[in-house]
Structure 1
Amino acid sequence: MAAKIDHIVFDIGKVLIHYDPNLPFSRIIPDETERKWFFDNVCTHEWNLEQDRGRSWSEAEALLLEQHPQQEANIRAFRQHWHEMVPHAYDGSVAIFESLIENGRDVTMLTNFAADTFVEARRKFPFLDKPRGVTVSGEIGLIKPDVAIYEKHARDFGLNPEASIFIDDSYPNVEGARAAGWHAVHFTDPETLRKDLRDHGIEV
């Protein structure tokens, strides 16, 4: 028998909204090999993750400018063109998300996101204001899959971990939620999510 789920927690990037740094950079650095080198060696995933942990963009840029002064324009372009990296929401996921809220379900969000770009995302995607609340990694200095961020979210929003389910596109983040005592599902597409929620006794 499925455990009773009282709390549904959504990740945001690649679950509710699309995110892809290649979108502006395919124009900024048209050569694919050069662009790959740039993301592998300059504006790396690991570098960007530190902004999700709370590092300021000015500090992040200064660090890279010291190491790669010849790449200044491209380094600064990452933040300047960030809005182009999040071009649209996933309508199917958002429909599930909004349906749960309209049906009176307790929905919150837990995201790895820089504090200032999240403000932009909220302006661009008003549905992000609909759930009961959100934990933004860049505002609290913790990032998924650190168990501490799930524990803080549960404390701040009064969640019972055993009655909570987390939805994330990153398998390590799903595992982090499970390590915190939550139920969790790996997001791949809206139809699979509907099935996963039904398997946990949640009708959408």
Structure 2
Amino acid sequence: MTIKAVIFDIGNVLIEWQPERFYDAEIGEARRRALFSAVDLHAMNDRVDLGEGFRDVIYETAEAHPEFRAEIRMWHDRWLELATPTIDRSVRLMHALRAGGLPVHALTNFGIQSFDLAKQHFGFLNDFDTAFVSGHMGVIKPAARIYEMVEEATGLTGDALLFTDDRADNIAAASARGWQTHLFDGPEGWANRLVADGLLTEAAAA
């Protein structure tokens, strides 16, 4: 079947998402390791991605761990510094696909308020045909339901969809529904895939 839409993950596909790197730079690796060992910050973030309040969840977690209160609050107060830098070539690929007339969507684990903040800072996040955001959907990848909801909204299923994500579990869940997939490990490989599938010319993918 011809690919009728391309779907991008956002974190580590369009924007780097490496909280550990941020904390290493801010508080040092030893303190960061102690923090991440004592507090499951990624589980905290999953709550945000499921639609709970961005500030509420993080500040609640900070109060539950007063020895790390200041560091945990950074997850909210300095969030844009955690979510940086932009992966510029991936953004160019997204725009090139849209310029060619192909629908391009996002499917992302992202909170409601944090996505609103990101859209203000990263203008290209406003350029998708549809942004499927877990916080609004009430379910996160790799749960099968989130992929089913994309199919219902787009009217597309199976190999009409090409999806890229940096996490193997998210890719496996999409593959299980028959989607075409690409495990993102850098923009060059993704560009090569788009050219190989005939979705972009080499010039457009450069």
Does TM, normalized by the shorter one, top 0.5?
A: yes
Task: Give unmatched runs, 5+ long, in structure 1.
Answer: none
Which of 65, 90, 97 is residue 100 of structure 1 equivalent to?
Answer: 97
Query: Kindly tell me: are residues 63 and 127 of structure 1, through their superposed partners in 2, closer, same or farther at Cα, counting changes over 3 Å?
Result: closer
Distance between the aligned counterparts of 1:62 and 1:131, measured in 2?
33
| Alignment check: 8 A CA contact 1:28 1:74 kept | no
2:6 alignment counterpart: 8
2:15 alignment counterpart: 17
**CA deviation map 1:124-169 (0-9, x unaligned):** 1111111211110011210001111011012112223331010111
- The more displaced of 157-166 and 39-48 is 39-48
The TM-score, its normalising length taken from structure 1, stands at 0.90
**CA deviation map 1:67-112 (0-9, x unaligned):** x222222222211111111232111111111000001011111000
| Alignment check: 8 A CA contact 1:65 1:75 kept | no
Q: Tell me which amino acid in the other structure corresponds to 1:173.
A: N
Task: Give unmatched runs, 5+ long, in structure 2.
Answer: 202-206
Which of 150, 154, 167 is residue 147 of structure 2 equivalent to?
Answer: 150
Tell me, yes or no, if structure 1 residue 51 matches structure 2 residue 48: yes
1:78 alignment counterpart: 75
| Alignment check: 8 A CA contact 1:5 1:201 kept | no
| Alignment check: 8 A CA contact 2:58 2:73 kept | no
Report 1:1-204 matches (<5 A). Answer: 3-30=1-28, 32-57=29-54, 58-66=56-64, 68-204=65-201
Distance between the aligned counterparts of 1:185 and 1:201, measured in 2?
15
Q: Tell me which amino acid in the other structure corresponds to 1:5.
A: I
| Alignment check: 8 A CA contact 2:17 2:82 kept | yes
2:204 alignment counterpart: none
Distance between the aligned counterparts of 2:57 and 2:123, measured in 1?
29
- The more displaced of 129-138 and 38-47 is 38-47
Q: Secondary structure at the match of 2:68?
A: helix
**CA deviation map 1:6-28 (0-9, x unaligned):** 11000011101112223542354
CA drift of 1:63 comes to: 4.2
CA drift of 1:180 comes to: 2.1
Distance between the aligned counterparts of 1:192 and 1:28, measured in 2?
32
Aligned length: 200
**CA deviation map 1:18-68 (0-9, x unaligned):** 1222354235423x11211212321522222221112223134324523x2
| Alignment check: 8 A CA contact 2:53 2:113 kept | no
Structure 1 ranges of 4+ moved more than 6 A: none
| Alignment check: 8 A CA contact 1:161 1:180 kept | yes
| Alignment check: 8 A CA contact 1:9 1:109 kept | yes
Q: Tell me which amino acid in the other structure corresponds to 1:25.
A: Y
